[in-house]
Copies of this chain bind each other. A is one copy, B any other.
Protein backbone atom coordinates (compact mmCIF):
# COMPACT_ATOMS: atom_id res chain seq x y z
CA UNK A 1 0.00 0.00 0.00
CA UNK A 2 1.33 3.48 -0.81
CA UNK A 3 2.82 4.93 2.32
CA UNK A 4 0.76 7.63 3.94
CA UNK A 5 3.01 7.88 6.98
CA UNK A 6 4.39 11.15 5.74
CA UNK A 7 1.13 12.78 6.63
CA UNK A 8 1.03 11.53 10.18
CA UNK A 9 4.59 11.16 11.53
CA UNK A 10 6.84 14.22 11.75
CA UNK A 11 9.17 14.56 8.78
CA UNK A 12 12.74 13.50 9.53
CA UNK A 13 15.50 16.05 9.87
CA UNK A 14 18.07 15.64 7.15
CA UNK A 15 21.81 16.07 7.59
CA UNK A 16 23.80 15.84 4.38
CA UNK A 17 27.45 15.72 5.32
CA UNK A 18 29.41 16.36 2.15
CA UNK A 19 33.18 16.17 1.99
CA UNK A 20 35.20 17.68 -0.83
CA UNK A 21 37.61 15.57 -2.87
CA UNK A 22 37.55 12.67 -0.42
CA UNK A 23 38.52 9.33 -1.91
CA UNK A 24 36.95 5.91 -1.44
CA UNK A 25 39.81 4.75 0.77
CA UNK A 26 40.28 7.93 2.80
CA UNK A 27 38.76 6.38 5.90
CA UNK A 28 39.29 3.67 8.46
CA UNK A 29 35.93 2.23 7.38
CA UNK A 30 36.54 -0.53 4.84
CA UNK A 31 34.54 0.12 1.66
CA UNK A 32 36.45 -2.56 -0.23
CA UNK A 33 35.85 -6.27 0.36
CA UNK A 34 38.66 -6.25 2.90
CA UNK A 35 40.59 -3.60 4.80
CA UNK A 36 43.36 -1.94 2.84
CA UNK A 37 46.60 -0.21 3.86
CA UNK A 38 44.90 3.16 3.42
CA UNK A 39 42.16 2.10 5.85
CA UNK A 40 44.97 1.51 8.34
CA UNK A 41 46.50 4.90 7.70
CA UNK A 42 43.43 7.09 8.20
CA UNK A 43 41.51 7.58 11.42
CA UNK A 44 37.78 8.23 11.06
CA UNK A 45 36.03 6.93 14.19
CA UNK A 46 32.89 8.96 13.66
CA UNK A 47 32.45 7.44 10.21
CA UNK A 48 32.88 4.03 11.82
CA UNK A 49 30.22 4.94 14.35
CA UNK A 50 27.88 6.06 11.57
CA UNK A 51 28.54 2.89 9.58
CA UNK A 52 27.89 0.72 12.62
CA UNK A 53 24.53 2.37 13.23
CA UNK A 54 23.49 2.75 9.58
CA UNK A 55 24.08 1.49 6.07
CA UNK A 56 27.32 1.50 4.14
CA UNK A 57 27.18 1.85 0.34
CA UNK A 58 30.18 0.28 -1.34
CA UNK A 59 29.35 1.48 -4.85
CA UNK A 60 28.24 5.08 -4.49
CA UNK A 61 29.06 7.06 -7.62
CA UNK A 62 29.44 10.75 -8.32
CA UNK A 63 30.83 12.87 -11.16
CA UNK A 64 34.58 13.03 -11.57
CA UNK A 65 34.86 16.71 -10.59
CA UNK A 66 33.00 18.92 -8.14
CA UNK A 67 30.48 21.27 -9.81
CA UNK A 68 28.83 18.55 -11.90
CA UNK A 69 28.29 16.49 -8.74
CA UNK A 70 27.03 19.41 -6.71
CA UNK A 71 24.60 20.56 -9.38
CA UNK A 72 23.38 16.97 -9.75
CA UNK A 73 22.89 16.76 -6.01
CA UNK A 74 20.86 19.95 -5.98
CA UNK A 75 18.75 19.17 -9.06
CA UNK A 76 18.57 15.38 -9.41
CA UNK A 77 19.79 15.78 -12.99
CA UNK A 78 22.70 14.04 -14.66
CA UNK A 79 25.59 16.18 -15.85
CA UNK A 80 24.86 15.38 -19.51
CA UNK A 81 21.46 16.93 -18.92
CA UNK A 82 22.32 19.97 -16.78
CA UNK A 83 25.48 20.68 -18.79
CA UNK A 84 27.46 22.01 -15.85
CA UNK A 85 30.00 19.43 -16.93
CA UNK A 86 33.09 21.12 -15.52
CA UNK A 87 33.85 23.20 -12.46
CA UNK A 88 32.53 26.73 -12.43
CA UNK A 89 34.32 29.90 -11.43
CA UNK A 90 33.76 33.27 -13.06
CA UNK A 91 30.73 34.47 -14.99
CA UNK A 92 30.69 33.47 -18.66
CA UNK A 93 34.22 32.04 -18.45
CA UNK A 94 35.13 28.43 -18.98
CA UNK A 95 37.70 26.77 -16.75
CA UNK A 96 38.92 24.19 -19.22
CA UNK A 97 42.62 23.71 -19.71
CA UNK A 98 43.89 23.94 -23.29
CA UNK A 99 43.81 20.74 -25.33
CA UNK A 100 45.85 19.97 -28.46
CA UNK A 101 42.98 18.53 -30.53
CA UNK A 102 39.66 19.34 -28.86
CA UNK A 103 37.58 22.41 -28.07
CA UNK A 104 35.02 21.92 -25.29
CA UNK A 105 31.36 22.58 -26.09
CA UNK A 106 29.42 25.61 -24.83
CA UNK A 107 28.75 24.00 -21.44
CA UNK A 108 26.91 25.80 -18.67
CA UNK A 109 29.87 27.73 -17.29
CA UNK A 110 27.58 29.78 -15.02
CA UNK A 111 26.39 26.74 -13.10
CA UNK A 112 22.92 26.61 -11.65
CA UNK A 113 20.73 29.69 -11.55
CA UNK A 114 17.26 30.44 -10.18
CA UNK A 115 16.73 32.78 -13.12
CA UNK A 116 16.00 31.24 -16.54
CA UNK A 117 17.39 34.40 -18.12
CA UNK A 118 20.90 33.71 -16.82
CA UNK A 119 22.88 32.63 -19.88
CA UNK A 120 24.76 29.35 -19.88
CA UNK A 121 23.17 28.16 -16.66
CA UNK A 122 20.77 25.39 -15.72
CA UNK A 123 17.52 26.58 -14.17
CA UNK A 124 15.76 23.81 -12.29
CA UNK A 125 14.03 23.18 -8.96
CA UNK A 126 16.55 22.56 -6.18
CA UNK A 127 16.54 20.14 -3.27
CA UNK A 128 16.66 22.89 -0.62
CA UNK A 129 13.99 24.88 -2.43
CA UNK A 130 11.66 21.89 -2.53
CA UNK A 131 12.31 20.94 1.08
CA UNK A 132 11.71 24.53 2.11
CA UNK A 133 8.38 24.39 0.27
CA UNK A 134 7.27 21.57 2.57
CA UNK A 135 8.34 23.34 5.74
CA UNK A 136 12.02 22.56 6.27
CA UNK A 137 14.54 25.01 7.64
CA UNK A 138 17.22 24.81 4.97
CA UNK A 139 20.75 25.59 6.07
CA UNK A 140 23.89 25.78 3.97
CA UNK A 141 27.24 25.60 5.74
CA UNK A 142 30.59 25.60 3.97
CA UNK A 143 31.46 25.16 0.34
CA UNK A 144 28.71 26.00 -2.16
CA UNK A 145 30.21 26.15 -5.66
CA UNK A 146 26.84 26.02 -7.38
CA UNK A 147 27.07 29.08 -9.61
CA UNK A 148 29.78 31.29 -11.10
CA UNK A 149 30.74 34.54 -9.43
CA UNK A 150 28.44 37.46 -10.28
CA UNK A 151 25.54 35.18 -11.13
CA UNK A 152 22.52 34.61 -8.87
CA UNK A 153 23.46 30.98 -8.27
CA UNK A 154 26.70 31.97 -6.57
CA UNK A 155 24.67 32.72 -3.45
CA UNK A 156 23.01 29.70 -1.81
CA UNK A 157 20.26 32.01 -0.52
CA UNK A 158 19.07 32.27 -4.12
CA UNK A 159 18.86 28.50 -4.48
CA UNK A 160 16.44 27.61 -1.70
CA UNK A 161 18.64 27.88 1.37
CA UNK A 162 17.35 30.13 4.15
CA UNK A 163 20.71 30.32 5.84
CA UNK A 164 24.16 30.45 4.30
CA UNK A 165 27.42 30.40 6.16
CA UNK A 166 30.64 30.63 4.18
CA UNK A 167 29.28 29.49 0.82
CA UNK A 168 30.02 31.40 -2.39
CA UNK A 169 31.25 30.84 -5.93
CA UNK A 170 34.65 29.41 -5.09
CA UNK A 171 35.32 25.70 -5.17
CA UNK A 172 38.08 25.70 -2.60
CA UNK A 173 39.22 27.60 0.48
CA UNK A 174 41.56 30.53 0.45
CA UNK A 175 43.07 29.01 3.55
CA UNK A 176 42.09 26.60 6.31
CA UNK A 177 43.71 28.81 8.90
CA UNK A 178 41.95 31.51 10.89
CA UNK A 179 45.35 33.11 11.38
CA UNK A 180 45.26 33.74 7.63
CA UNK A 181 41.64 34.91 7.83
CA UNK A 182 40.65 31.94 5.64
CA UNK A 183 42.02 34.09 2.81
CA UNK A 184 44.22 33.09 -0.07
CA UNK A 185 46.32 36.21 0.33
CA UNK A 186 49.17 34.18 1.86
CA UNK A 187 49.63 32.48 -1.48
CA UNK A 188 48.94 35.62 -3.53
CA UNK A 189 45.60 34.18 -4.63
CA UNK A 190 42.81 36.39 -5.90
CA UNK A 191 40.30 37.62 -3.30
CA UNK A 192 37.81 35.42 -5.16
CA UNK A 193 39.04 32.57 -2.92
CA UNK A 194 38.52 34.37 0.40
CA UNK A 195 35.88 32.58 2.44
CA UNK A 196 33.11 35.00 3.38
CA UNK A 197 31.18 35.26 6.63
CA UNK A 198 33.58 33.79 9.16
CA UNK A 199 35.13 37.04 10.33
CA UNK A 200 34.48 36.30 13.98
CA UNK A 201 36.87 33.37 13.81
CA UNK A 202 39.72 35.28 12.20
CA UNK A 203 42.84 35.08 14.28
CA UNK A 204 41.27 32.79 16.87
CA UNK A 205 43.31 29.71 15.93
CA UNK A 206 40.11 27.97 14.94
CA UNK A 207 40.70 25.61 12.04
CA UNK A 208 38.24 26.11 9.18
CA UNK A 209 36.62 22.71 9.65
CA UNK A 210 36.00 23.49 13.30
CA UNK A 211 34.58 26.94 12.60
CA UNK A 212 32.09 25.50 10.13
CA UNK A 213 31.13 22.78 12.61
CA UNK A 214 30.40 25.32 15.33
CA UNK A 215 28.23 27.26 12.91
CA UNK A 216 26.37 24.10 12.01
CA UNK A 217 25.81 23.26 15.66
CA UNK A 218 24.41 26.74 16.29
CA UNK A 219 22.04 26.43 13.36
CA UNK A 220 20.92 23.02 14.54
CA UNK A 221 20.11 24.49 17.93
CA UNK A 222 18.20 27.30 16.34
CA UNK A 223 16.07 24.85 14.37
CA UNK A 224 15.44 22.83 17.51
CA UNK A 225 14.40 25.98 19.32
CA UNK A 226 12.06 26.95 16.50
CA UNK A 227 10.70 23.42 16.36
CA UNK A 228 11.02 23.06 12.63
CA UNK A 229 12.45 20.10 10.74
CA UNK A 230 15.80 21.00 9.25
CA UNK A 231 17.80 20.22 6.16
CA UNK A 232 21.39 20.85 7.19
CA UNK A 233 23.76 20.77 4.26
CA UNK A 234 27.12 20.53 5.98
CA UNK A 235 29.50 20.93 3.10
CA UNK A 236 33.11 20.96 4.21
CA UNK A 237 35.88 22.68 2.29
CA UNK A 238 38.01 19.83 3.59
CA UNK A 239 39.77 17.93 2.13
CA UNK A 240 40.34 20.13 -0.93
CA UNK A 241 43.68 21.79 -1.65
CA UNK A 242 45.43 23.93 -0.45
CA UNK A 243 46.22 21.61 2.45
CA UNK A 244 47.25 23.02 5.83
CA UNK A 245 48.36 21.27 9.00
CA UNK A 246 45.48 20.92 11.45
CA UNK A 247 47.37 21.30 14.75
CA UNK A 248 44.86 19.12 16.56
CA UNK A 249 45.62 16.02 14.56
CA UNK A 250 48.82 16.44 12.60
CA UNK A 251 51.28 15.00 15.12
CA UNK A 252 50.07 11.41 14.90
CA UNK A 253 50.64 11.32 11.15
CA UNK A 254 53.99 13.05 11.25
CA UNK A 255 55.05 10.63 13.93
CA UNK A 256 53.94 7.76 11.73
CA UNK A 257 56.46 8.94 9.14
CA UNK A 258 54.06 10.12 6.47
CA UNK A 259 55.46 12.66 4.06
CA UNK A 260 54.49 16.21 5.05
CA UNK A 261 51.77 16.59 2.44
CA UNK A 262 50.16 13.28 3.23
CA UNK A 263 50.34 13.95 6.94
CA UNK A 264 48.44 17.20 6.38
CA UNK A 265 45.92 15.33 4.29
CA UNK A 266 45.37 12.67 6.93
CA UNK A 267 44.91 15.31 9.60
CA UNK A 268 42.42 17.17 7.42
CA UNK A 269 40.46 13.94 7.17
CA UNK A 270 40.52 13.37 10.91
CA UNK A 271 39.36 16.93 11.48
CA UNK A 272 36.50 16.37 9.09
CA UNK A 273 35.63 13.18 10.94
CA UNK A 274 35.70 15.00 14.27
CA UNK A 275 33.13 17.39 12.81
CA UNK A 276 30.90 14.47 11.91
CA UNK A 277 31.25 13.13 15.44
CA UNK A 278 30.35 16.51 16.92
CA UNK A 279 27.20 16.68 14.80
CA UNK A 280 26.20 13.13 15.70
CA UNK A 281 26.75 13.98 19.38
CA UNK A 282 24.55 17.06 19.02
CA UNK A 283 21.79 14.99 17.44
CA UNK A 284 21.98 12.65 20.42
CA UNK A 285 22.04 15.54 22.89
CA UNK A 286 18.94 17.10 21.36
CA UNK A 287 17.16 13.76 21.20
CA UNK A 288 17.00 14.07 17.41
CA UNK A 289 18.95 11.04 16.29
CA UNK A 290 15.92 8.79 16.01
CA UNK A 291 14.23 11.16 13.60
CA UNK A 292 17.20 12.35 11.58
CA UNK A 293 18.44 10.95 8.31
CA UNK A 294 22.22 11.37 8.11
CA UNK A 295 23.83 11.01 4.71
CA UNK A 296 27.62 11.11 4.33
CA UNK A 297 29.16 11.54 0.87
CA UNK A 298 32.12 12.91 -1.04
CA UNK A 299 31.66 14.93 -4.21
CA UNK A 300 34.25 13.19 -6.39
CA UNK A 301 37.14 10.79 -6.08
CA UNK A 302 40.25 11.56 -4.09
CA UNK A 303 42.90 13.74 -5.64
CA UNK A 304 45.69 11.56 -7.01
CA UNK A 305 47.64 13.91 -9.28
CA UNK A 306 49.32 17.25 -8.60
CA UNK A 307 49.33 18.40 -5.00
CA UNK A 308 49.44 15.01 -3.32
CA UNK A 309 52.53 13.31 -1.88
CA UNK A 310 53.83 9.93 -2.95
CA UNK A 311 53.60 8.27 -6.36
CA UNK A 312 50.82 9.73 -8.52
CA UNK A 313 47.52 7.89 -8.87
CA UNK A 314 48.08 5.51 -5.96
CA UNK A 315 45.89 7.37 -3.49
CA UNK A 316 42.69 5.44 -4.00
CA UNK A 317 44.16 1.95 -4.26
CA UNK A 318 42.84 -0.59 -5.07
CA UNK A 319 40.97 1.81 -7.33
CA UNK A 320 42.73 3.18 -10.36
CA UNK A 321 43.46 6.91 -10.64
CA UNK A 322 41.54 9.67 -8.85
CA UNK A 323 39.67 12.97 -9.19
CA UNK A 324 38.89 13.84 -12.80
CA UNK A 325 39.20 10.27 -14.02
CA UNK A 326 36.67 7.95 -15.64
CA UNK A 327 38.27 5.15 -13.66
CA UNK A 328 36.76 4.14 -10.34
CA UNK A 329 39.19 6.28 -8.37
CA UNK A 330 37.60 9.38 -9.88
CA UNK A 331 33.95 8.52 -9.44
CA UNK A 332 33.47 6.04 -6.60
CA UNK A 333 33.25 7.55 -3.12
CA UNK A 334 32.34 6.60 0.43
CA UNK A 335 28.65 6.91 1.28
CA UNK A 336 26.94 6.18 4.59
CA UNK A 337 23.27 6.59 5.42
CA UNK A 338 21.68 6.31 8.85
CA UNK A 339 17.92 6.57 9.11
CA UNK A 340 16.79 4.97 12.35
CA UNK A 341 13.81 2.70 11.92
CA UNK A 342 14.64 2.27 8.24
CA UNK A 343 18.31 1.36 7.82
CA UNK A 344 19.45 -1.71 9.69
CA UNK A 345 22.47 -1.01 11.93
CA UNK A 346 25.72 -2.11 10.35
CA UNK A 347 24.08 -3.00 7.07
CA UNK A 348 25.91 -2.92 3.74
CA UNK A 349 24.44 -2.12 0.33
CA UNK A 350 26.41 -3.38 -2.63
CA UNK A 351 24.08 -1.89 -5.27
CA UNK A 352 25.35 1.11 -7.15
CA UNK A 353 23.88 4.57 -6.67
CA UNK A 354 24.53 7.91 -8.37
CA UNK A 355 24.80 11.42 -6.97
CA UNK A 356 21.63 12.55 -8.77
CA UNK A 357 19.74 9.96 -6.69
CA UNK A 358 20.02 12.13 -3.59
CA UNK A 359 17.25 14.56 -4.54
CA UNK A 360 14.57 11.93 -5.24
CA UNK A 361 15.72 9.91 -2.24
CA UNK A 362 15.53 12.82 0.18
CA UNK A 363 12.24 14.04 -1.25
CA UNK A 364 10.80 10.60 -0.65
CA UNK A 365 12.27 10.35 2.83
CA UNK A 366 10.91 13.78 3.76
CA UNK A 367 7.41 12.86 2.67
CA UNK A 368 7.49 15.65 0.11
CA UNK A 369 5.81 13.40 -2.45
CA UNK A 370 2.47 13.97 -0.79
CA UNK A 371 3.05 17.59 0.12
CA UNK A 372 4.44 19.09 -3.07
CA UNK A 373 2.08 19.71 -6.01
CA UNK A 374 4.34 17.36 -7.98
CA UNK A 375 7.78 15.82 -7.81
CA UNK A 376 10.24 17.28 -10.31
CA UNK A 377 11.38 14.97 -13.08
CA UNK A 378 14.89 13.73 -12.46
CA UNK A 379 17.51 11.46 -13.91
CA UNK A 380 18.16 10.09 -10.45
CA UNK A 381 16.14 7.40 -8.74
CA UNK A 382 15.18 7.27 -5.10
CA UNK A 383 17.21 4.64 -3.26
CA UNK A 384 14.81 4.51 -0.33
CA UNK A 385 13.99 0.90 -1.35
CA UNK A 386 17.68 0.10 -0.89
CA UNK A 387 17.64 1.74 2.53
CA UNK A 388 14.59 -0.32 3.46
CA UNK A 389 16.16 -3.43 1.92
CA UNK A 390 12.86 -4.08 0.21
CA UNK A 391 14.64 -4.86 -3.06
CA UNK A 392 17.11 -7.70 -3.24
CA UNK A 393 18.88 -6.41 -6.31
CA UNK A 394 18.46 -3.27 -8.37
CA UNK A 395 17.51 -3.87 -11.98
CA UNK A 396 20.05 -3.34 -14.72
CA UNK A 397 19.90 0.37 -14.38
CA UNK A 398 22.32 2.43 -16.49
CA UNK A 399 24.54 5.09 -14.94
CA UNK A 400 25.97 7.80 -17.17
CA UNK A 401 28.98 10.11 -17.01
CA UNK A 402 29.73 12.89 -19.44
CA UNK A 403 32.82 15.06 -19.23
CA UNK A 404 33.50 16.75 -22.59
CA UNK A 405 35.98 18.99 -20.79
CA UNK A 406 39.63 19.34 -19.98
CA UNK A 407 40.63 19.29 -16.34
CA UNK A 408 44.37 19.34 -16.86
CA UNK A 409 46.30 16.54 -15.19
CA UNK A 410 47.13 13.36 -17.05
CA UNK A 411 46.89 9.77 -15.92
CA UNK A 412 44.67 6.70 -16.14
CA UNK A 413 41.14 7.56 -17.24
CA UNK A 414 41.88 11.29 -17.42
CA UNK A 415 40.87 13.45 -20.36
CA UNK A 416 37.51 14.25 -21.97
CA UNK A 417 35.31 11.17 -21.72
CA UNK A 418 31.85 9.69 -21.60
CA UNK A 419 31.00 6.49 -19.76
CA UNK A 420 28.17 4.13 -18.96
CA UNK A 421 27.81 1.44 -16.36
CA UNK A 422 25.18 -1.30 -16.59
CA UNK A 423 25.39 -4.26 -14.26
CA UNK A 424 28.97 -5.45 -14.04
CA UNK A 425 30.18 -3.55 -17.08
CA UNK A 426 31.59 -0.08 -17.57
CA UNK A 427 32.35 1.29 -21.02
CA UNK A 428 34.51 4.42 -21.29
CA UNK A 429 34.79 6.50 -24.45
CA UNK A 430 37.74 8.88 -24.70
CA UNK A 431 36.81 11.82 -26.90
CA UNK A 432 40.31 12.84 -27.96
CA UNK A 433 41.42 9.62 -29.66
CA UNK A 434 38.00 7.83 -29.93
CA UNK A 435 39.45 5.06 -27.79
CA UNK A 436 37.29 2.73 -25.70
CA UNK A 437 37.80 0.81 -22.49
CA UNK A 438 35.47 -1.91 -21.28
CA UNK A 439 35.85 -3.23 -17.75
CA UNK A 440 34.09 -5.87 -15.71
CA UNK A 441 34.09 -3.87 -12.50
CA UNK A 442 33.32 -6.52 -9.86
CA UNK A 443 35.87 -8.87 -11.41
CA UNK A 444 38.49 -6.19 -12.00
CA UNK A 445 37.98 -3.33 -9.60
CA UNK A 446 41.41 -1.90 -10.46
CA UNK A 447 40.51 -1.71 -14.17
CA UNK A 448 43.61 -3.45 -15.40
CA UNK A 449 42.12 -5.52 -18.22
CA UNK A 450 40.35 -3.89 -21.14
CA UNK A 451 37.77 -6.43 -22.33
CA UNK A 452 36.87 -4.56 -25.50
CA UNK A 453 38.37 -7.10 -27.88
CA UNK A 454 36.82 -10.19 -26.33
CA UNK A 455 33.37 -8.74 -25.56
CA UNK A 456 32.52 -6.72 -28.68
CA UNK A 457 28.76 -7.30 -28.40
CA UNK A 458 28.69 -5.94 -24.84
CA UNK A 459 30.65 -2.91 -25.96
CA UNK A 460 28.28 -2.28 -28.86
CA UNK A 461 25.20 -2.61 -26.66
CA UNK A 462 26.59 -0.20 -24.09
CA UNK A 463 27.74 2.29 -26.71
CA UNK A 464 24.28 2.18 -28.25
CA UNK A 465 22.51 2.71 -24.94
CA UNK A 466 24.84 5.55 -24.01
CA UNK A 467 24.43 7.22 -27.39
CA UNK A 468 20.64 6.87 -27.43
CA UNK A 469 20.45 8.54 -24.08
CA UNK A 470 22.90 11.28 -25.04
CA UNK A 471 20.84 12.05 -28.12
CA UNK A 472 17.71 12.25 -25.98
CA UNK A 473 19.16 14.69 -23.47
CA UNK A 474 21.14 16.67 -26.02
CA UNK A 475 24.55 15.86 -24.55
CA UNK A 476 27.18 18.27 -25.79
CA UNK A 477 30.26 16.92 -27.54
CA UNK A 478 33.58 18.70 -28.01
CA UNK A 479 34.68 19.92 -31.40
CA UNK A 480 37.65 18.33 -33.13
CA UNK A 481 40.10 21.06 -34.12
CA UNK A 482 41.31 19.09 -37.13
CA UNK A 483 37.97 18.28 -38.75
CA UNK A 484 36.02 21.24 -37.39
CA UNK A 485 33.20 18.80 -36.67
CA UNK A 486 31.81 17.50 -33.43
CA UNK A 487 33.36 14.43 -31.86
CA UNK A 488 31.10 11.53 -32.93
CA UNK A 489 28.64 9.82 -30.61
CA UNK A 490 30.03 6.70 -28.94
CA UNK A 491 28.11 4.24 -31.10
CA UNK A 492 29.30 5.92 -34.29
CA UNK A 493 32.87 6.03 -33.04
CA UNK A 494 32.79 2.40 -31.98
CA UNK A 495 31.38 1.31 -35.33
CA UNK A 496 34.09 3.30 -37.10
CA UNK A 497 36.78 1.83 -34.88
CA UNK A 498 35.67 -1.70 -35.66
CA UNK A 499 34.81 -1.32 -39.34
CA UNK A 500 36.65 -3.91 -41.37
CA UNK A 501 38.56 -5.31 -38.44
CA UNK A 502 36.09 -7.92 -37.29
CA UNK A 503 36.04 -6.36 -33.88
CA UNK A 504 36.87 -3.27 -31.89
CA UNK A 505 40.43 -2.45 -30.96
CA UNK A 506 41.26 -1.02 -27.59
Q: Report which A residues bind B (CB closer than 8 A).
A: 1-2, 4, 77, 81-83, 108, 116, 118-125, 133, 360, 363-364, 369-370, 373-379, 381-382, 385, 471-477, 485-489, 492
Contact = CB atoms under 8 A, between A and B. Distances in A.
A315 B364 CA distance: 43
A473 B375 contact: yes
Given A360-B472, A382-B472, A385-B471, 19 more contacts: A1-B486, A1-B487, A1-B492, A2-B475, A2-B487, A2-B489, A4-B486, A83-B374, A116-B133, A119-B373, A122-B373, A122-B374, A124-B376, A124-B377, A364-B471, A364-B474, A376-B377, A377-B379, A377-B473
Copies per assembly: 2
Nearest to A77: B377
Nearest to A75: B377
B373 A488 contact: no
Contacts of A120: 373
A489 B2 CA distance: 6
A116 B376 CA distance: 12
A408 to B, nearest CB: 25
A377 B378 contact: yes
B122 A474 contact: no
Contacts of A116: 125, 133
Contacts of A487: 1-2
Contacts of A2: 471, 475, 477, 486-489
A207 B364 CA distance: 51
A425 B316 CA distance: 47
A91 to B, nearest CB: 14
A464 to B, nearest CB: 9
A374 B82 contact: yes
B81 A374 contact: yes
Contacts of A382: 471-472
Most chain B Cβ neighbours within 10 Å, of A121, A473, A475, A486: A473
A124 B372 CA distance: 13
B81 A377 contact: yes
A474 B373 contact: no
